[in-house]
Structure 1
Amino acid sequence: YCKELNVYETGDVYSEVLRLDKKDFVLRFYNSFSGVRTIIINGFDEFTQPEINIINRTADVEGVELFVMFDYYRYNPALFSHLDKCYEKFKAKGFNEVEDTSQIQFNDYQKRIREKLFLLNENDEPKPSEIDTVKIIAQSPEEEIRLIAKEIKSLITKNNVDVDSMTVAFNLISDHSAIIRDVFNEYGIPFNLTDRYALNESQPVIALINFLEILENNFYYKNIFRALTGRWIKINGLDLSNLLRVSSNLKIVSGYKNWIDSISRTIDEINFNNDDEDNRFLPIEFYSKAKDDIEAIFEMLKPFREKKTIYEFKDELRKLIYTLGLPQRIVNDHESYIEKNVKAITVFLETLDELFDLLTDENGTDKKFPLGYFLSQVKTALQFTRYNIKERHANGVLVTSVNEIRGLNFDYVFIGGLVDGEFPTRYQPEIFLSGSYRKDEYRHILEDRYHFYQTLCCAKKRLYLSFPMKDEKKEFTPSTFVNDLLRLFKDEEKTIKDYSELVYSKSELMKYAATLDLEKDKDKLDSLGIDVEKLKTDLSIDKLRLENPFGESEYTGDISKNISEEAKTKLADQKERQYSASQLEEYAKCPFQYFLKRILQLETIEEPTEELESFELGSIIHSILYEFYGTLKEKS
């Protein structure tokens, strides 16, 4: 239907709605929302002019009451002045202002924030509030997350606080999501992280693109191994280790024809001359298997060799996804990854549909393009596409961005990353926009202030403000927002020292246990669930290794006692044999490597190279000289 109207974005939809005459607008409203008599618009900061016009026309529908919940206070321009124009536009449309004076709407804490935050009145002094304010100071970004996790763990264990009554909000959540996952999992805290993931970092999507690049880069060996090494793309019977072994042996770097010709020539040479005195070749079945595997990859990518129309490429790509079995592998993956990967592939397919629709509008349906063109377009689209997984309510501590919690209420609110440059973010001029589309620096800081204010209003019992002092590269400056708020309210300060009395995770428990005496503190260790006898055994083994590293024990590398007679015989043979200087040197460098290579006879498969090795160059020169002087001798 949108295609029929020639609309492709929200602005196009607004234009079509506003083109309707009054009678048609009312008729369509009744058809779409029959029975609706009250409309409440809540949770929005600003409205564009088309949105205001649509809201105004909706308010004129007979029998419908419409209310816009507009969080605006004209007497605090340092916080609300960016909403002045929007407020005046609603007034100009005839909207009546109704002030909500109920205690439910704003408590004393919220009123003080609305009226005084960012105004810099010298007469203001910090006052107590019904909302406790706690400032958490960490030395590093990782320590900041750990202190937040420790405080949450304390609230759960000491105060019996429900996890769904707490939220942790960052202005730039994606900068912290990885460490939040690690730390919260380590501390055993159930959480719901609503971060948006970059589609170009999805492993199933990356694997699919890498597989297509095999053909685009003409079977370059690194593309083959990059695409097929992971768990997402498996071709029945394909032996990747054998492919690497053959490519290294024959020095095949790229080229489908080169793969097939080199392997075929080698097979013919082995069949013609069974005498391989120099051990140049692998068993013939290795080459046959490698040839079959390369041909299998080629057959799967064959449809993409020729130029295709946009529709043809889209159709073949979908077929390839199912041929490779990606959907089946995703839904049968580990349960903690299924939802994320299903969402990634779904968004990937939706993105392809949108991209190919745009390309069709631009180029038509008949024009054909090579694989490289499509890969370039797809990779560009993936770079700017993000997705998130469905929020699971009442499933743990909500960890999200400040924009996601506005209008919600939580007993305990943590606002993290409160350093200048993150919250507020640095102003960056929008050099590609001009006129009314460009946002000046003051408006930028106003919007960040407003988001901070909205996040503060989410707290019902306690508010935590946290920030790190430095990272590996630089020192941080605490956000000016923190100082502005603490001019109004008294606060409590916490650092790492305030969390030294409790053990919050298994790793901390083990560190604490290491400080205890195994005999004197046996009861305490037992109460912590630590097997004291096993711990004694482990410590005795470590002591043995330190005090007598070359003693006759299996823990120091001596395996001569509890082994079979056959193994003893083989070891005795090794003891009596003669060793070259290079072998002894190799053993001195790394005994374990010597054991793997010389005893177990495990080999490392080197990557193929087109450069000549020294011994190969020497052999070629010898052959040339032999042919040259042999010919001269015959002629003379």
Structure 2
Amino acid sequence: MGTIYKHSSPFLQAAQTLLKTRKAQAIAPTRQTAKRLKQLPYSLTSLAAELLWQKGIRVLNPLEQYRYFKQAIAATLNPTDLEGTVQTWRGAIQELLQTSRELDALKKFETPKIQQLYQVIHAYQAQLEADNVVDSAAALWRAIALEPDLKTLCIYGYPDPRADEIAFIEAIAAPDSLLYLPQVDDQPLFSPQAELIKRLQGKGWQLDDSQPETLTLGDRLSQKFFGQNSVNFEPKTVQAHVYPNWEAEARGTLGQIKQLLQQGVAARKIAIVTNEDNHWGPLLLHVAQEYDVPLSLPNPISLQKTRLGAWLEQLLTVIETNYSFEVTAQWLSHPLTHPLGREFWQAARTLKPNHFEAWQALTQEHYQWDLAVLQPPQQGSFLVWREYLKEILNVLKVRRRALPWVTETVAYKKLIDGLDSLGTSLTETMTWEMFQAEIRTSLQLLTTPAYPMRGGVGVHNPQNLIGAQYDYIFCIDGAEGVMPRPLRDEPVLDFYTRKQLSDKLPIEGAIAKARREQFQFYSLLQVPQKQFTFSYSTLGQGEGRYRSQVASIYFKKLGLQPKKTSIAIAASVAEARQFYLTQSQIPTELQSETLDQAIAAHQIEQRRLQKSALDEYQGLIGVPFPWREHTFSASQLLQLGQCPFKWFAGKVLKLAALDEPETTLEPSQRGILYHKVLELALNAYRENPDLDLTDFEQLKAWFIEAEDVLKLPELSAWERQCTEHIQTLQRAIAAPEFLPEGRHVFRLEDKIQFTWQDFRITGYIDRIDQISGTNELVIMDYKTSSSPPKGIQDESGLLKIDLQLPIYEASVQHQYPEFQVKQNLYYSLTKGKKLSSKSPDEKDLQAAGDRLKIHLEEGSYPVAPDKKYDACKYCDFKSVCRINQEEQE
């Protein structure tokens, strides 16, 4: 039979000699292992799939496999949450399919869970056999059943083979085959390998125990790992670092790699290794791009996590929500959608389209772009739905827009191939709900490399580097609880269930899983040839939270003591600029307008945090405002009196709050709407006093008329909201204090223009009533709140001086000298009652007006809200003034 090699060097020499004869097939599952044999990747599963294909049996792709499995779960378990059950059970079923060819042994167990496992597997395999297809997890066992012809194989990259892999090797390997199977005598870690070697020797395999001529760095690391304390390393060949956090670890690692690249080391000879490659990938890529380090992320990610996947899921949500404003605006803003200009978005923010026809009119008006392609069919076969989606992709030129990103280009091909593969298996008529569920599932199951780059520094998990060789290995995130990964009980195949099954099946239990995890790290130690750097950070993150971390036990086993490290040389222009923010001397090559602006901004921020003397960045601009020439409203003076910076930001700097999409009317819009409805109602009442102002249908007519005049934005569920608004107004009008006997409406929305304490004032008074038979007037100001409005600051810094009603009273006395103001009041439309307020005396009003003038004349608008920070509660400019939350509390 074949030959087993315990050491990689003799095996590689023998394998390359044999492969040159072209009489052998190289078996190496990954690109990294295949490179050692100077061959292309080709796994045992690939060989099994080829053999099955020759016999007319096809291996399922992930989408087909999921669909068959879903049908089996539905037929046997019929769970209430079908999708959730499929997700939970899928991994357990595939592990059992790999474990053994004969799973009828499951019938002998009386445990309900194991009985269910058997029922699902039996139904699943029956469906597959009926259609002459096979799950990839069972491909090796199915190929063995074919009794294939023997082949000469050079098998590398399977140092810790599973049961199905061992059985397949035994079934197909010709007598002149070669197998690399590492084994160290008297080490419990290698007990499965020792047993397998003994078993294969019993079947005629020979053992080649020849030793390598020289020990590599990996060999010495392995010896140290097994407790040979006499092993020493050359200076700087093995290093251990500790960092304060993930970002520092990423920057420290990539900084060292950049130095190697600058020394002439090829990027392809360097690798970063982590158990959490999916979590670390985005951070490493961000820092690598800043450092100008070529980085490759070959780890597979679901299409759901790509730009294309996000774009497609947003499109499905747009159609599901019937083109609601916020969701549709997000989708239209996506880089894979048709680019839209400033004028379009200005119009969209103003109109807030909230259904298909409104968006259609807007896109056609600005771009002659017809959204009709998005309208889905009522129902149809999957082929109909597939062509519908492809038409959208073609019309919007998504493939061309994805070209700037390699990941998205690959993801696009994966998506199209996946959709095409389902064309023959999905034959039933599908509704929109069924189709969008199928697409969402496809986005979860289909994968693409996270960031492929030929020749870049690769980020790998240890499993992918088994059998590989790199000059420099940087193993990051080496914290306890991360490396080795902790054992986790699974919901279906928990450790107790595994222990039960181990009597009949060669399934891995807790001890075997822990051993395999440790063996994986041993295999990693074989990879580096020149330098091995091991690091961890004391502050980790995961599952949405931060956690304190300590060094992995592997540091101790390697005799390493992690040390704090810092790279004195900035690895990027951005880091250099950050350093020179606080330096007086700046190198000529770094001097730029960008750095000058950053230094100025940093100094401004320091002064703010140190609470030093106020300057122009805290509102003290020192430029007098021509207030005598300016016309103010009462609300403007109110803002100035509550917080000078608040008025300055809005009226001088012309800042405004971001126009966020709303599901309900904003408070200011609601107030304007209520005012308009009451104006229409009371004008009609003045013409016809017999009208019932509280009649719902009549109020509704005025409400609709006010809507039309004001051009309010379209909101979801507006019809229901309208009813609530009308009922609120109905209660407010019916209240006795709204229009009491003995009073009639004198003026509505009365415009005022006059001078108050030398301020030119303009505005509108909501309503002025006249007491019947007298020359006395009552001023009413409507409020949608349930409490009286805050005034401006008094001398103690509290909002106690009401400014609005005194100004209104003075204006009415000026405008109607023949009348006397008997009363002024705030009326709550939500409570239907008068709000109590205290009128300030003339001395307080005069002092308040003088304080306002000082701010304007001196150009002094400090961030100085009232002591209770009431002025900050509904302020749009908190991100500008950055008032301290600690101070408010």
Check whether TM > 0.5. yes
CA distance 1:310–1:536, change in 2 (3 Å): closer
- Residue 66 (structure 1) aligns with: 177
- Residue 307 (structure 2) aligns with: 203
Query: Aligned to 1:65, what secondary structure does the other structure show?
Result: coil
Q: How many angstroms apart in 2 are the aligned matches of 1:595 and 1:10?
A: 68
Q: Is 1:45 aligned to 2:159, yes or no?
A: yes
Query: Aligned to 1:68, what secondary structure does the other structure show?
Result: strand
Match of 1:98 among 201, 205, 208: 208
- Residue 276 (structure 1) aligns with: none
Q: Quote the offset at 1:208 in angstroms.
A: 2.5
CA contact (8 A) 1:215 1:305 kept: no
Q: How many angstroms apart in 1 are the aligned matches of 2:645 and 2:451?
A: 57
Q: Quote the offset at 1:83 in angstroms.
A: 3.9
Match of 1:607 among 661, 671, 685: 661
Q: How many angstroms apart in 2 are the aligned matches of 1:147 and 1:375?
A: 44
Query: Aligned to 1:196, what secondary structure does the other structure show?
Result: strand
Q: How many angstroms apart in 2 are the aligned matches of 1:323 and 1:537?
A: 44
Sequence identity percentage: 17
- Residue 308 (structure 1) aligns with: 380
- Letter of the aligned partner of 1:507 in structure 2? A
- Letter of the aligned partner of 1:151 in structure 2? Q
CA contact (8 A) 1:76 1:116 kept: no
- Residue 137 (structure 1) aligns with: 242
- Asked which structure has the greater CA Rg, the reply is 2
C-alpha offsets along residues 226-280 of structure 1, whole Å, 9 cap, x if unaligned? 2111221118899344234223xxxx64x557x59xxxxxxxxxxxxxxxxxxxx
Query: Aligned to 1:504, what secondary structure does the other structure show?
Result: coil
Q: How many angstroms apart in 1 are the aligned matches of 2:594 and 2:309?
A: 46
CA distance 1:541–1:350, change in 2 (3 Å): closer
- Letter of the aligned partner of 1:17 in structure 2? A
CA distance 1:541–1:437, change in 2 (3 Å): closer
1:488-527 matches, within 5 Å, as: 491=560, 493-496=562-565, 499-500=567-568, 502-514=569-581, 516-518=583-585, 525-526=587-588
CA contact (8 A) 1:80 1:446 kept: no
- Letter of the aligned partner of 1:496 in structure 2? T
Q: How many angstroms apart in 2 are the aligned matches of 1:347 and 1:329?
A: 16
Q: Is 1:617 aligned to 2:617, yes or no?
A: no
Q: Quote the offset at 1:198 in angstroms.
A: 3.1
Q: How many angstroms apart in 2 are the aligned matches of 1:536 and 1:329?
A: 36
- Residue 404 (structure 1) aligns with: 464
- Letter of the aligned partner of 1:55 in structure 2? I
C-alpha offsets along residues 179-212 of structure 1, whole Å, 9 cap, x if unaligned? 2122223333333333333311211232233223
- Letter of the aligned partner of 1:164 in structure 2? R
Name which of structure 1's ranges 477-486 and 289-298 shifts more when overlaid on structure 2: 289-298
Q: How many angstroms apart in 2 are the aligned matches of 1:149 and 1:236?
A: 38
Q: Give the structure with the higher percent helix.
A: 1
CA distance 1:6–1:184, change in 2 (3 Å): same
Query: Aligned to 2:272, what secondary structure does the other structure show?
Result: strand
Match of 1:464 among 533, 536, 555: 533
CA contact (8 A) 1:416 1:466 kept: yes
Q: How many angstroms apart in 2 are the aligned matches of 1:541 and 1:42?
A: 58
- Letter of the aligned partner of 2:251 in structure 1? R
Q: Give the structure with the higher percent strand.
A: 2
TM-score, normalised by the number of residues in structure 1: 0.72
CA distance 1:422–1:456, change in 2 (3 Å): same
Q: How many angstroms apart in 1 are the aligned matches of 2:599 and 2:664?
A: 52
- Residue 441 (structure 2) aligns with: 380
1:440-459 matches, within 5 Å, as: 440-459=509-528
- Residue 482 (structure 2) aligns with: 422
Q: Is 1:322 aligned to 2:394, yes or no?
A: yes
- Residue 136 (structure 2) aligns with: 10
- Letter of the aligned partner of 1:71 in structure 2? P
CA contact (8 A) 2:246 2:539 kept: yes
Query: Aligned to 2:293, what secondary structure does the other structure show?
Result: coil
- Residue 483 (structure 1) aligns with: 556
Match of 1:218 among 322, 331, 351: 322
C-alpha offsets along residues 332-363 of structure 1, whole Å, 9 cap, x if unaligned? x3xxx2x11101112222333445655x2xxx
Name which of structure 1's ranges 467-476 and 415-424 shifts more when overlaid on structure 2: 467-476
Q: How many angstroms apart in 2 are the aligned matches of 1:544 and 1:176?
A: 35
CA distance 1:101–1:538, change in 2 (3 Å): closer
Unaligned runs of 5+ in 1: 30-37, 261-286, 561-570
Query: Aligned to 1:135, what secondary structure does the other structure show?
Result: strand
Match of 1:342 among 409, 415, 431: 409
Aligned length: 538
Name which of structure 1's ranges 585-594 and 368-377 shifts more when overlaid on structure 2: 585-594
Q: How many angstroms apart in 2 are the aligned matches of 1:539 and 1:240?
A: 35
Q: Quote the offset at 1:55 in angstroms.
A: 2.7
CA distance 1:420–1:103, change in 2 (3 Å): same
Q: How many angstroms apart in 2 are the aligned matches of 1:543 and 1:72?
A: 63
C-alpha offsets along residues 569-623 of structure 1, whole Å, 9 cap, x if unaligned? xx98x8722222433526731634434649xxx8965535455813323444565
CA distance 1:318–1:86, change in 2 (3 Å): farther
